Structure 1
């Protein structure tokens, strides 16, 4: 990935509060043997108390065992929020947080390894555990360390995944009840934009039903989120034009022949211009248009792109590139780090013989269908009740560009409380933001790509901390 621009002086962010967890009591009700004392590839004391294990969902004939990793806040776990990270993909391990620079650890050094090298990890100075407790989950069953007892459960969709995630949360809080009073937030990026608002609505509905313990839900955040198939796929052409990737002449021809509809348009003249469009952006890195055209798999594998159906335009642009979907071995590094007997023991993951699966971040054997094409209804249901929502986008991502999110926000018809304006980190413009009524905030991360914390983890850390702590300086 492209290097971030944060200076050396920012590595001390959160240092003043990093040791406060020592003053807090240990998690008192955790399942026996759940505490993690060693992390794979890491030599030293863990920065906070951490726990791992399984929560079983489903029923007797269809048991699905979802793996979780929980890192308590380094600041004040007694009162700090609990954030669950829902990964995109749509079927990728929650340990993707190691790549996205939000978890307590990060890969030490280059992702390129020689055959004999062993991956190592180090503390992440921008870990969200400096402001909150972080719950990572391998969802759906089959990704990472999660597994199902029935092979049929590896065929799934958005609706089934949301139901499993709610059951997971309900059971997890039953095992860690001391965190039930803490403010609870959901976070994710990319395809998790399809899951997060639906899960939020499910939590609110179940809270009203009163059949299970009430989760202290406060809001959710999403970066470069999938929100509406049609808006997302129609955004590629105008974004490519405004970023100087296609010519004025081609853009005007596309506008006149496609009439603003660049997805599923069958008009011959439009298709001819779209063919030229794909040729002009061939080789562009969709996740960051300024970076070399390499990217790791995001669940949309060469074998299963049709199943994941992230959009016709995405598939066409991927096919037009001469570069493979993976050319920097990040997947292999994570597999080498986690898929060993020693790592499984340290992380309380069950042996591969039990799960019958090797550790894969985004396994291709999961057959996933997107059955919720647009999320507008769910966002409106949650935001109309005043729950807090933070949407942020790397402004150099062609994949789910920020302009698509802005276009979709218009459909909500919410009043702008603060119009487009810059926000700052260390007196430098870090992006631009718009604040809407009903506690809805949108911001760009200037210079970042898809999953902005991959590229500018410091700026994302600052933005997120300001939001979750209730600051208006964004």
Structure 2
């Protein structure tokens, strides 16, 4: 395989993003405690939540209260809402387009309701693409992206909203979905509805999209794109394959799928975990001797465990996660308090980011009333959902992408250069290794500058429907770190200019 070297980079790191209720009876509340073992599976979930300065009331949005069962009517319950946007930005009048929030009763569950936001585009909404955004974790709410990355507005320090001049609603009609069940404002009254694999996750999302397009039939003809970051590197290929199958089998409404974009994603763990020591060495997080030791002693057991996961089911895959995570833990023990979402930064104690304004805003009774979720608590990141998906973590979701490419579905893989946890090196490696009819030509394609405005903002490699973009001066959350470049990226890609 031809080696592919990007131009100069400084520090690069890994992170697979993380997002997460209703009124539980007191006996069922499970506060996240401070003394968790951070090297256990459950401890990792809690550590990730704390690193974002989030303090969800519950482990999952599981409502053990019979009075909610009566609310599980079939279909979608949706309302148009208006929040007071007072600060900054160049947004139009809120009356000029629709902002919607709703719950969808998932038909293949006992009592699950999926929550979503839908924002009509600020520009040419009738013809603009429809984009769905999925936040990773697994188990984190998509409101993280809505308020801190690419949504129509952002939360200011005084808890007021201001327009985001680089919101992706400038280029598309955009859906933000809280999923899997138990995350954000998505809830259930039965814990058997908590998902454990991508088959159930993608079926839930496909079912939701069918119902959404019934209610918003004017958008059925519009191009449709799937986007997201981090653990959505699992969600997105699975959903794209499910939509493609539904279209091929003439199931329900034809979803006009044109492509999908994964930002700093976890897609092919075998290749991406192997890249950790290489990235950490290049980023000067570890020494050459550390790199060689990790590569010799920790990578081979990880590769063997992933092979066992391929055939051994959920338990084997959970064991593979624990084995492979030793690679990352070893790097972090050497790197110290580095922010693994953005290696240019240090974490202060357990705090790497402060997203607490989102929890405060979405816990305000006036906001909840406007959204139609007055009786529902908000679970920013669900440790229970995170833990339930551990058997899914090490599964390779690259395998379904070649078929989509061969059928003309566009694929954009992008990564901020300073992210460790889902670093650009590991992502590029799996994209290069993917076997499809255009593999050799993609590998041999020239690297060209990606320019946003008048600034060189990244390095692009592409052939046919496949593109890979390394974004400069960005960590794990590219739309947050480089909002102008991210908007131009998604807009140009959907328009066929990337």
Taking structure 2 as the reference length, what is the TM-score of the superposition?
A: 0.73
The correspondence of residues 43-442 of structure 1 with structure 2, limited to 5 A, is: 45-46=93-94, 48-59=97-108, 62-109=110-157, 119-154=159-194, 156-255=196-295, 257-258=296-297, 261=300, 263=302, 277-293=331-347, 323-324=349-350, 326=351, 328-330=353-355, 332-352=356-376, 358-366=377-385, 367-369=387-389, 370-371=391-392, 373-413=395-435, 414=439, 415-416=441-442, 418-437=445-464, 439-442=465-468
The 8 Å contact of residues 85 and 162 in structure 2, kept in 1 or not, is answered as: no
Q: Secondary structure at the match of 1:194?
A: helix
1:61-115 deviation per Cα after TM superposition (whole angstroms, max 9, x unaligned): 7021111110001111111100011111111212122344211011214xxxxxx
Change in 2 beyond 3 A, CA 1:327/1:193:
closer
Q: Greater share of helix residues, 1 or 2?
A: 2
Aligned equivalents of 2:115, 2:300: Cα separation in 1: 42
Shift of 1:365: 3.4
The 8 Å contact of residues 54 and 65 in structure 1, kept in 2 or not, is answered as: yes
Shift of 1:278: 4.3
Of 462, 471, 478, the residue aligned with 1:445 is: 471
The 8 Å contact of residues 151 and 168 in structure 2, kept in 1 or not, is answered as: yes
The 8 Å contact of residues 91 and 368 in structure 1, kept in 2 or not, is answered as: no
Aligned equivalents of 1:76, 1:90: Cα separation in 2: 34
Change in 2 beyond 3 A, CA 1:254/1:34:
closer
Q: Secondary structure at the match of 1:37?
A: coil
Q: Secondary structure at the match of 1:85?
A: strand
Aligned equivalents of 1:75, 1:345: Cα separation in 2: 28
Query: In the alignment, which residue of structure 1 is the partner of 2:72?
Result: none
Shift of 1:161: 1.1
Q: Quick check: 1:34 aligned with 2:83?
A: no
Aligned equivalents of 1:374, 1:337: Cα separation in 2: 37
1:151-172 deviation per Cα after TM superposition (whole angstroms, max 9, x unaligned): 2213533221111111111111
More relative contact order, 1 or 2 (CA 8 Å, 6+ apart)? 2
Q: Secondary structure at the match of 2:446?
A: strand
Corresponding pairs, count:
394
73-82 or 427-436: bigger deviation: 427-436
Aligned equivalents of 1:163, 1:90: Cα separation in 2: 17
The 8 Å contact of residues 225 and 400 in structure 1, kept in 2 or not, is answered as: yes
Shift of 1:40: 8.0
Change in 2 beyond 3 A, CA 1:124/1:274:
closer
Shift of 1:360: 1.4
The 8 Å contact of residues 254 and 274 in structure 1, kept in 2 or not, is answered as: no
Change in 2 beyond 3 A, CA 1:250/1:287:
same
Query: In the alignment, which residue of structure 2 is the partner of 1:304?
Result: none
Aligned equivalents of 2:493, 2:188: Cα separation in 1: 37
Query: In the alignment, which residue of structure 2 is the partner of 1:301?
Result: none
Shift of 1:263: 3.5
Q: Secondary structure at the match of 1:62?
A: coil
Shift of 1:385: 0.9
RMSD: 2.9
Shift of 1:260: 6.0
Shift of 1:37: 2.2
Of 477, 480, 488, the residue aligned with 1:462 is: 488
Unmatched runs of 5 consecutive residues or more in structure 1: 1-29, 110-117, 295-322, 353-357
Taking structure 1 as the reference length, what is the TM-score of the superposition?
A: 0.77
Q: Secondary structure at the match of 2:450?
A: strand
Shift of 1:203: 0.6
Aligned equivalents of 2:132, 2:304: Cα separation in 1: 39
Aligned equivalents of 1:273, 1:121: Cα separation in 2: 41
The correspondence of residues 7-26 of structure 1 with structure 2, limited to 5 A, is: none
Q: Secondary structure at the match of 1:419?
A: coil
The 8 Å contact of residues 82 and 182 in structure 1, kept in 2 or not, is answered as: yes
